[in-house]
Amino acid sequence: MEDVYLCDDVTLCDLMEDVYLFGGTTPTEDGTATPSNEIHKLNISRMKWKVPLYVGLPPARRRGHGAFILHSHLYVFGGQNEEEELNDLKVMKLINPSERQPGASLTCSIIIIIIIIIIIIIITTCIIINIIIIILLLFLLLLLLLLLLLLLLLLLLLLLLFID
């Protein structure tokens, strides 16, 4: 096993043929120990360490915490760092390349693109309909103004006829 380093107060969680190591303390050059938020994965069958792929932000540096894996999600709770006791729960979605289905992400991407295009078409259609309604309302307003002007002219003509 290459890249092995000393650590203490870590959590180890297993998922199929992998063991995940999170946090704990690592010795520094001056002989003190500092909390860590590193995540490592050991593949048992190959006995190789890797930094795993995951979605989400890693929890803050900590030691003395609890952790478990459920449905490919690594949950980390509590512990402490240099300044304080921690009472939080952090979740990271673990991504195992062997479990990924190559067509799934492409299919999801295509569906998302189609949905976005449909939303854009709907929004554009609504905007166009609103513009048409505004133009029709302006046209009706113009017709009403013309009608009012004609009525005023007619009234003026009638007044002129009655005055003479």
Q: Dihedral (C-alpha) 99, 105, 108, 112: value to the nearest 10 degrees?
A: 140
Is residue 70 domain-shared with residue 126, that is, in the same domain? no
> What is residue 3's three-state secondary structure?
coil
Q: Count of domains in the chain? A: 2
Look at residue 52 and tell me if it is in a domain: yes
**pLDDT tens, position by position, for the chain (164 residues)?**
455 556 677 888 888 888 888 888 888 888 888 898 888 899 899 999 999 888 888 889 999 898 888 888 899 999 998 889 999 999 999 887 555 444 455 667 788 888 899 999 999 999 999 999 999 999 999 999 999 999 999 999 999 888 87
> What kind and span of H or E run contains 57?
none
Is residue 83 domain-shared with residue 30, that is, in the same domain? yes
Between the CA of residue 103 and those of 81, 100, 110, what are the distances in Å? 42, 9, 11
**Which range of residues forms the domain containing residue 87?**
11-95
Look at residue 41 and tell me if it is in a domain: yes
Look at residue 2 and tell me if it is in a domain: no
CA 35, 40, 84: angle at the middle one, nearest 5?
Answer: 20
Whole-angstrom Cα distance, residue 107 to residue 21?
33
